[in-house]
Each structure stands twice: as structure tokens, then as C-alpha cells.
Amino acid sequence: MGPLGPSPGGGNAWNLRRTKPAVLAIRISRELQRRPLLAKCVPTAIGFAFGDCLTQYMNRDKSRTLREQWSFSRTGSMLCIGALCAGPVLLSFNRWMDVAILPQQATSPVALSIKFLLDQVVGCFIWQAAYLSINPAYRRSALALLKSASGRIEGPARSLTRHAPQVLA
């Protein structure tokens, strides 16, 4: 017996060729419900690795080839951090929210909206801080972005304070 159904004759374990897509989706859904940690860790790991790929691509040195400067070990470490740290933490956080936020109406639109916003706000700060601490290139990019943004904000603010006495007079 394969993980998603019978495997006659030891052939295709998932019986993919003979299974309709809807039936396959139901079988996969059942397997993921039986293994919630796996269901959380795999997409989280892929997301962390993909985020690192985007970061490396955006911060590349255009004078060198991408192959020369790509850090596969960094992408692999982000994949592992996503699978071994972020996945279990997020699963625990989601389970806590299920118990703590409107447990009688856990699937109501209000409860789902609160959980989504809390997950995004809290998660954004936690994971961005973690990513800044373990990724020097991302840290440099974030600091450069903050410096350029503060320069764009301070310029108009200085001109406003220079003209404020004339406007208020």
C-alpha cells in the first residue's frame, strides 16, 4: 500500500496515471491532515529557500556571473531553517491562535481575519528580525534602504520647517 492509495504489483506507488486529479487531491489532503507538521514544514522550507533565492538574485553583483556568486549553502541553510525552526514554530503559533482566538467560532470570518492579521504582523517582525540576524547581505540591503528612505523623508521635512514660519505668520 502506497502513501496515497494502493500500489498494485509494486508499480507506481501513488497510482498517478490512473487517478483523477480530484481523487488525488483528496488523497493528498488526507495525508496532510494526518501529518500537520510535515504539511507546515515543507511549504515553509520552500518559502524560505525561495526568499533567499530572490534576495541573492536582487543583491547580485552584475559585473560577475550569477553562477560565480551564488551561495548554495546559504540557500540550503535557509531551507533547513524554514523546515526545522520556522515550520514547527508557525504550527505551534497557529494552534495557539486556534485555542486563544474565538475558539467557539474558529472558522468565522472575524476569527480568520484576526488570525491572519496577527500572523502577518507578528510573523513579519519575528521573521524579518531573524532573517536580518542570519543574513549579512540582507542586513546591508535593509540598512541601505532605510538610509535612502530617511533621506527622502528628511529632505521635504527640512523644507517644510524652513517655510513654516512664513506660512504661520
For 113-147, what is each residue's pLDDT tens digit? 999 999 899 888 888 888 788 778 778 888 888 88
What nine digits make up the cell of 105?
467560532
**Residue spans per domain, the chain:** 1-34, 36-137
Q: Tell me the pLDDT band of 18, cut-offs 50, 70 and 90.
A: low
Q: Is the pTM of this model over 0.85?
A: no
